Amino acid sequence: MDLMCTVLAYFGTDLSREEFDAYLARTQERGPDDSKIVALPHGGFLGFQRLAIMGLTPEGMQPFCLHGSFAVCNGELYGFRPMKRELEDKGYVFQSGSDCELILPLYREYGTDMFRRLDAEFACVIYDGETGGVVAARDPIGIRPLFYGYSASGGLAIASEARSLIGWVDEILPFPPGCYLQDGKFHRYRDPAAFDAPCPDQGDAMLRGIRERLIAAVEKRLDADAPLGFLLSGGLDSSLVCAIAAKQSKKPIRTFAVGMEKDAIDLKYARQVADYLGAEHTEFYMTPEMVEEALPEVISRLGTYDITTIRASMGMYLLCREIRRHTDVRVLLTGEVSDELFGYKYTDFAPSAEAFQEESCKRVRELYAYDVLRADRCIADNSIEARVPFGDLEFVRYVMSIDPELKMNRYGKGKYLLRKAFEGDWLPEEILWREKAAFSDAVGHSMVDDLKAYAERRYPGDAWRDACSAFTPFPPFTKESLLYRRIFERYYPGQGDMIPGFWMPNPEWEGCRVDDPSARVLKNYGDSGK
């Protein structure tokens, strides 16, 4: 499995091999183990940088070739071994242990219908040797990154990160999740928020359905030939992932937590969880100086100006950098995607079950631009692979199909169903039922305050308001957001359309009309930040 690798493709005749190689090299940290470029028969190139996790032999290196067709894939195809045996029965001979080698045989057998068959997190590009056509696709949630655009001559360019396209592609756009591109047109093959029928389970059966599917999601992501670790905030979601993994592991799991030197809410809870699970636990402390110094680097890696994404990335990025420098861990499991399914603090204000479900659908469909973008860049750009169990397609489908009335906070506690599903010996009661802290607060209330103070020093007085109007779309509306947008424009000039807007609580709901994305500004935050 070649996860957290780099894909770069260009279909045109006006780009030299040397130029293509330089664009591919911009993201070498995503795939530091090997690099390969193939020149295509009708012009253009397919390039790949590898971070080897499974199928570690040279034969697993991409691009793969089959009967004149070529493919590159950054991803993981769950359950690939039965699919591989089925294809072998049809006469295919595989050269490696890489799951991604199945892409071309699957395409040959099923065409674009193959994407509906995959239980996978992936971004792939296929050059069809028979037709000379191009097919590209991305997983339904967008866990694997992919961007596209066109050169000045009209050639199609596709890349794992926007960084590879800066300077030679005028407009860079995110490749829509759950879609494939063929003959220049996008086709949706799966909507991550959709389900065939409402969940028939009730009561204990529903709780069991949640529990069993999350356990299965974690289990399938423990398969790796490289050392595994776990990001542990001490919050419910990451703690559950760790608890499930600890029960499956024959040796202590390795957990990592980050916080400011003062007022880090989650560090004590992370330590409590690690002790309870018997984990090998490591803590990393940040200072205001480290946060300020890392800010341009973090924004350049993220490729966003969204306030909450940047705040939440600071600790995660610095922690992953330390993990890369000081450990042999090359795979990290995280707790992202739970909030979009079970609710945020602000969704307590949803006026109806229908409104709650509509908001959940919106958040799931936009995950690619926020939480999973953060997880990918913070982890992958430190040469580590990210795995997101809550983003498992079957788990997401099941939870989205549950009656939204049951997912709303009618219990005086958010994420009640998820908590209830894991009652027992999974976690300490204090952890299982603790209030959720805002992500950026969890590493320390002072971090956001430090960032705001830094922005205030950069833009004293009121002149900053006029500066905000120069940016479209989604102009900055605070000094902090202006700071982030200016740094973003330094690295991605004129590419503001890459994100769908600022992540904010739904302003149409009473109690959610706020001027900051942090849950700490909501009146129901209560003891969450303690």
Q: Report, as residue numbers or ranges, the catalytic residues.
A: 5
The partner residues of 36 in beta bridges, in order of sequence, read 48
> Reading across the β-sheet that carries 179-182, which strands appear in turn?
64-66, 69-77, 120-127, 134-138, 179-182, 185-188
Q: Which residue type occupies 185?
A: K
The partner residues of 259 in beta bridges, in order of sequence, read 285
* Three-class SS state of 54: coil
Tokens 């697993």 belong to residue: 60
The partner residues of 69 in beta bridges, in order of sequence, read 66
Residues whose CB falls within 8 Å of the CB of residue 293, separated by 6 or more in sequence, listed in order? none
Residue 7: name the closest of 22, 24, 19, 26 by CA: 24
Pairing between strand 185-188 and 331-333?
A: unpaired
Q: Answer positive or negative: Cα dihedral of 149, 340, 218, 239.
A: positive
Q: Can you tell me the distance from the alpha carbon of 432 to that of 1, in angstroms, rounded to the nearest whole number?
A: 33
CA 253 to chain centre: 22
281 close to 323: Cβ distance less than 8 angstroms: no
> Helix H segments across 343-392?
353-365, 371-380
Beta-carbon count within 10 A of 362 CB: 13
